[in-house]
Amino acid sequence: MSEQPDDTPAPEAASAAPDAGEPGDKPAPAAAPAAGEPVGMQDLARIVEALLFLSPDPVSLDALADACQADEDRVVAALHRLREHYAEGYRGVVLREVAGGFTLATDPVAEPAARRLLAKPRTPPLTQAQAECLAVVAYLQPVSRPEIARIRGVASESAVGTLLERGLIEEGGRSRFGAVMYRTTDLFQKLFGLEALDALPDIAQFDPTPEDEQELRDRLLKAGEQRQSAD
């Protein structure tokens, strides 16, 4: 008796293998663990690395374990991974154990270059006068220097000049009477973390004392009257 062929279809080979996706596709990021769920060793090493990067001082083992909500033995294993990753002689940053804790430090080979970079004069912070002028320009732009002075109640030539030199404001045309109008620059938005000017803090949230509020109101009303009379 001849054997009948099996009609059951063979399973497709592709169904047994995971979908590899298109060539060049990046793997999907791992989902964040639920609260209280221990993270994998790779993620733990990344978390420890981030904590060391954020801390200006060496971080002790128990402080790392507490922040990571992990056993000290697992944190030690994560530090071992990082030590291999930052092996001296391969990267510009190394993992060091100093002052009873762990820290990320620059490799000694970078010391001469780091000294040259950090020896450059740093830009001093804005003075109160410069900050006031910058705020007036940011909220009222385009605005002229005489208007800035009227709002502040004092001369503003020096402060405006410094803001121009530092690239925080720029000329934005002239008024009908020839006065230079000023506006903020892209550098201003970058330094203050603004996506656009409409991301400026709502001035309505400013909560001055009654005395300061009355003084500001008087200055603004006077400046507005003078602007209308000039027009």
Kindly state whether residue 19 falls inside one of the protein's structural domains. Answer: no
Band (pLDDT 50/70/90 cuts) for residue 224 is: low
DSSP readout, 158-190? HHHHHHHHTTSEEEEEE-TTSPEEEEE-HHHHH
Give the count of domains, the chain. Answer: 2
Highest mean pLDDT (candidates 9-13, 91-95, 160-164, 213-217)? 160-164
**Of the candidates 203, 200, 199, 169, the residue with the CA atom closest to the CA atom of residue 183:** 169
Q: What is the pLDDT of residue 122?
A: 73
Query: Do 134 and 226 fall into the same domain?
Result: yes
Q: What is the pLDDT of residue 137?
A: 94
Residues 136-148 have a mean pLDDT of 91
pLDDT averaged over every residue in the chain: 80
Kindly state whether residue 118 falls inside one of the protein's structural domains. Answer: no
- Domain range holding 165? 128-230
Q: What is the pLDDT of residue 39?
A: 77
Query: Do 139 and 203 fall into the same domain?
Result: yes
Residues 184-193 have a mean pLDDT of 88
Kindly state whether residue 222 falls inside one of the protein's structural domains. Answer: yes
Say whether pLDDT at 50 is over 90.
yes
Kindly state whether residue 224 falls inside one of the protein's structural domains. Answer: yes
Kindly state whether residue 74 falls inside one of the protein's structural domains. Answer: yes
Query: Do 104 and 134 fall into the same domain?
Result: no
Q: What is the pLDDT of residue 191?
A: 86
Instruction: From 85, 112, 139, give the residue that closes a domain.
Output: 112
Say whether pLDDT at 94 is over 60.
yes
8 Å CB contact between 161 and 131? no
Residue-wise pLDDT for 203-215, tens only, equals: 777 666 777 777 7
Query: Do 219 and 194 fall into the same domain?
Result: yes
Q: What is the pLDDT of residue 21?
A: 46
